[in-house]
Chains A and B, each alone.
Chain A
Amino acid sequence: MCLAQQGHPLTGTWSGDWGTTATKRTPITLVLNWDGKNVTGLMNPGPDAIPISSVFVDVSTWTVRIEAETKDSSGKPVPIRAEGKLEDLGSYHRTLTGSWQQGAAKGDFKLTRD
């Protein structure tokens, strides 16, 4: 039996992947927190963590837009923009799925709340 978090639906740790094809996938972990005004968080916490610059949530549709910026191997900034929809809001293992753009690469993502 899982004990669901019943507060802000985005709060918590989310794991999954994104990719440009069904087989070319990159694991991602998001740690999100609602501070009363904004959803803040980190992508891939650890030494190479990527701070999330903004999270926009439309609660009328539970669509979510996440923006961050990482760096490529040369240190050049690479913007990340993900747009998705929160599904199964009341479930512990609610999901966030949608489109993912990282630099010029476009694909999809699926995250499940741990």
Chain B
Amino acid sequence: MKRSAALGILLVTAISAQHTATYDNDRKVTLKGAVTRMDWVNPRSYFFVDVRDSAGTTANWAVEFGNPLELEKAGWKANSLKIGDVVSVEGIPARGPANQALALSVVLASTGKKLFVGAPQQRRAAVPAQPVPRWPDGRVRLGPPLGKKGYWGAASTPALLENTGAKIPMNSEGILANLADAGRIAPFLPWAKAVYEYRQRTLLKDDPISRCIPPGGPRQFQMPNGFQFIEQRDLGRILVLLGGSDRNWRIIYTDGRAQGEPDEVVRGYYGNSVGHWEGDTLVVDSIGFNEKFWLSAGGLPHTEALHLVEHISRPDFNTLKYEVTVDDPRAYTRKWNGGWTVQWVPDQEIQEYFCEENAESTFVR
């Protein structure tokens, strides 16, 4: 099944997932009118515009135009567009009857200036090569060097898939360009493959992330707003703070405790994680997952039998290497491995992000 080509427009690619389910890429809409309201909120900013049709009827449209953090990085500000400004918008309308669109271009009528799109994104200068930061005892630090700031940002792949060397085209949300590739993503049991294909066919409309459910499992390391490690060595644990979802966290115990019994651990989104170091690699064993999340963007299913072994290392200052072994005999025919790298975002803090912030603005969910 062929899908719409991934949109290559800067503004669109800067926006987080769930747009394929929300917006109808096969249609376009042109809107012109005065701005009535601005919601400059993370993760999705909206402005509202009164649009009069040919019959003289006015309708208020919600126009989604980007992630404010990305927009600010590109030099835009909340007051780049003011209430009362007349704009012309080219966009993709929402599926269904809602007066909502995803902006592809926004032009200020009074000056012809393009807003929010088209500006070259200020590419961050490459961080000079520097040694991997280490604790005084020589162990690798997964966070910033002492006295510095930073966090882990973009992952090198949008979704988890088995490491076979095959290149499987998919968009930034994990939607396959060709559904026939589904069987190459992972060694599914028949029911799991059917569920995965259903989620793909329905354009991920039921993705728990779109309902602000935590991104459990490997997905936490592929969220658009990044993450960081807080190593509490005196407490024998590492916290993974997530920039996405609802700013929640995961605990990896490194105090030497044994893994719990599968039937006794309290099931959760991040599982019961115990970690230890093998040289410069943090090895994390996790069980005790609930079934309320997707293992990855794209809709990989799992069951409560899920057992993950993650290898997390920092081969150089700017790169985190994430490798995971997925063992879920109720969903997959065998153990399988996947992984990706994540880039360091230097000298910045993760910004405030609450998934539910957009609940008022987002009509289509």
Interface residues of A (CB under 8 A from B): 1, 3-9, 11, 34-36, 57, 59-60, 62, 89-91
Say yes or no for B95: interface residue by CB 8 A criterion: no
Say yes or no for B268: interface residue by CB 8 A criterion: no
Say yes or no for B247: interface residue by CB 8 A criterion: no
Interface residue SS majority, chain B? loop
- Note all chain A residues with C-beta closer than 8 A to B189: 36
Report whether A90 and B206 are in contact in the complex, using a CB–CB cutoff of 8 Å.
Answer: yes
Supposing A3-B213, A7-B331 touch, asked if A34 and B291 sit within 8 A by C-beta, the answer is: no
Q: How many whole Å from A61's CB to the nearest CB in chain B?
A: 9
Report whether B191 and A9 are in contact in the complex, using a CB–CB cutoff of 8 Å.
Answer: yes
Chain B residues 174 to 197 lying within 8 A of chain A, measured CB to CB, are: 189-191, 193-195
Instruction: Give Cα A36 to B206, complex, Å.
Output: 24
Q: How many whole Å from A89's CB to the nearest CB in chain B?
A: 5
27 inter-chain pairs at a CB distance below 8 angstroms, sorted by A residue, are A5-B291, A5-B292, A6-B208, A6-B291, A6-B292, A6-B293, A6-B301, A6-B302, A7-B302, A7-B303, A7-B304, A7-B331, A8-B195, A8-B330, A9-B191, A11-B303, A34-B191, A34-B330, A35-B330, A36-B303, A36-B329, A59-B193, A59-B194, A60-B194, A89-B198, A90-B202, A90-B205
Report whether B294 and A6 are in contact in the complex, using a CB–CB cutoff of 8 Å.
Answer: yes
Supposing A6-B292, A6-B294 touch, asked if A62 and B330 sit within 8 A by C-beta, the answer is: no
- Note all chain A residues with C-beta closer than 8 A to B211: 1
Instruction: Give Cα A61 to B293, complex, Å.
Output: 24
Report whether A7 and B291 are in contact in the complex, using a CB–CB cutoff of 8 Å.
Answer: yes
Report whether B191 and A4 are in contact in the complex, using a CB–CB cutoff of 8 Å.
Answer: no
- Note all chain A residues with C-beta closer than 8 A to B294: 6
